[in-house]
Amino acid sequence: MNFLQQAPRFLFFTGKGGVGKTSVACASAVHLADSGSKVLLVSTDPASNVGQVFGLDIGNRIAAVPAVSGLSALEIDPQAAAQAYRDRIVGPVKGLLPDNVVKGIEEQLSGACTTEIAAFDQFTGLLTDAELVAGYDHIVFDTAPTGHTIRLLQLPGAWSGFLEAGKGDASCLGPLAGLDKQRAQYKAAVDALADSTRTRLILVARAQQSTLREVARTHRELAEIGLRNQYLLINAILPAEQVADDPLAMAIHQREQTALANMPDVLAALPRDTVMLRPFNMVGLAALRHLLTGDGAGLAPAAQPCRPDAHPGLAELVEEIAQAGHGLIMLMGKGGVGKTTLAAAIAVDLARRGLPVHLTTSDPAAHLQETLAGALEQLTVSRIDPAEATERYRQQVLATKGARLDAQGRALLEEDLRSPCTEEIAVFQAFSRIIREAGRQFVVMDTAPTGHTLLLLDATGAYHREVARQMQPGIHYLTPMMQLQDSRQTKVLIATVAETTPVLEAANLQQDLRRAGIEPWAWIINNSISAAHATSPLLRQRASNELVEIAAVAKRHAPRYAVVPLLQDEPVGIARLQQLVGSDH
């Protein structure tokens, strides 16, 4: 494995949920420790299952892994870190500022942005603690800080303390209030991340076109802020020897090879490693030691029989959706789970029933027209360009709210509008114009606003600030959030796949939505092997592994759900999208 050759002190594994970051990070840490190095494995992933992988209760303190000499592990608890972070910021101003100002600060610190910053705050302490670092040859991080976080920290307003000064008018910089004491620590951490002699980033991906497009964006985003020492690791490739006599396996193999042959140029130029798909779950040391080296015969238990018709399909959900005659359908979920395809399939089925449908997306990597590869009389398709929406939003805010500010206030406003959260808000506002159409037809949204954005806009203080930015005093405005929170008008569908991390991340998204007053209507488990007809021994074992995650969704998470099979043919074109739904319409 090239990415482990002459490994520097810090190794960061990053990538979308479900690509195998945790498994690869744990296997790499074990490999380095087995080679005689002293290693600390750190997880900053909100959906961390490092403890589960090792069969240990690790938690938020450094703990030795008894079965591996030289290996210790730590799971940073993002929620606990966020609460401690909130207490540190809000505590000193309680009783000093008016209650409504304190409440506004608490609202701004309630979202996912705060959790992300708080976890970064804790992990930078590890990077910059000279005594701790000196005690290990390598520190392996499961989930690197995002470019979003680092760009936020590079904005001067992150250090202004403007909330304590009563200038809490910025929508995105709020979670960064009160960080001035950590400024030197954060700069040292970012410098360490950008130093190729100390840090290596491993971009973990699957051999899927959508996933590789997402990873290419991550590569560019991190490279733009100085993190250029990157390696690409393609995980879970179906071995060629598993293809014989199984049409589904053959189709998967061909799709993977096509995706690899056509990967974005920026990824093709990176040093690359590949890891084959294994039949066993990545739990326990034996599995971890065989992930990067192969073999592992006998680690997988006997496959359990799978009944492809044992779970409700997408047709049942669409049938219930269609009964209303109109409404807003929002597809939400992490990258790489097939939201675009599912949104197109639902829109096609509704249109085939003679119902008017507007299908829209804001995903830069989405290719709705390519997915549809055709037209239907009742189907309208549109795309929101995030860059155009953001620039329009910036100019609108500066022309309205900015015109009434003094030079200092306008400078802070302009800085806030350069923050990465501005795009989320701008896209939401563009969506809100389309939302109004749902009163007379179906509107199907691919890549809906994140739970973080909805929390930000729904918080009373943030809501009034956003209204004030665009409206002159005295003008009343009705927020589209009221429609999103009305289950009679809006149905939120959470998309995932039947693997541990994607299901955990989907559950976290559901909690964020609930805090914003939005109750998800259903879950869709996409690309399920257990719902297909696989005969390859490896695929049958993978199908058996899915059953635990499907049961977790059905019994613990989803009020209603559907399982969509992995198809032999790529679901492109009207006919194949209709096949994905499986209805008679």
Give me the helix-helix angle, 314-322 and 574-581, nearest 10°: 100
Distance CA 579, CA 559 (A): 25
Beta-ladder partners of 233: 204, 273
Q: Which residue has the tokens 């197109």?
A: 344
The radius of gyration of the chain from alpha carbons, rounded to an integer in Å, stands at 24
- Stated as kind and residue range, the H or E segment containing 40 is strand 39-43
Closest CA to 345 of 569, 554, 564, 530: 564
If phi > 0 it is left, if psi is from -120 to 50 it is alpha, else beta; for residue 145 that is: beta
Q: Which residue has the tokens 């590949």?
A: 274
Q: Which residues are catalytic?
A: 18, 20-23, 45, 501
Q: Tell me the two tokens of residue 524.
A: 């869709």
Q: Which residue has the tokens 């389309």?
A: 434
Residues 6+ apart with CB under 8 A from 535: 245, 246, 248, 249
Give me the helix-helix angle, 421-435 and 451-458, nearest 10°: 80
Beta-ladder partners of 563: 525
Label the pairing between strands 357-361 and 327-332.
unpaired
Distance CA 259, CA 475 (A): 51
Q: Tell me the two tokens of residue 107.
A: 């609202």
Cβ contact 534:246 at 8 Å = yes
